[in-house]
Amino acid sequence: MPLAPTLIVLAAGALAFPLATYRSRRPRDPGNPPLIPFGAVQFVALVVVVLMLAHLVTLLTGQPLTGRAPR
């Protein structure tokens, strides 16, 4: 994935996290549960941000990130 789509996905994840946090902290009506689990949205947004940051490091340095496991 080139640099521009990586930055777009990173920005979308970084924007989705605070929006989901805001929506999860709003007061709810007692008989009206939320249809979207905003805690799950926060988790997915956080995973997307971490993965895109790792991918951004590989794009900017030219070195792929390798695990600690021996080959």
User: pLDDT tens, 3-56?
Assistant: 999 999 999 999 999 999 999 999 888 888 889 999 999 999 999 999 999 999
Please tell me which residue, 36 or 70, carries the higher pLDDT value.
36
pLDDT at 24: 92
**Structure-token match 């939320």, residue found:** 34
Domain boundaries, the chain: 3-25+37-61
User: pTM of the entire structure?
Assistant: 0.83
pLDDT at 55: 93
Measured distance CA(58)–CA(52) in Å, rounded: 10
pLDDT at 65 > cutoff 90: no
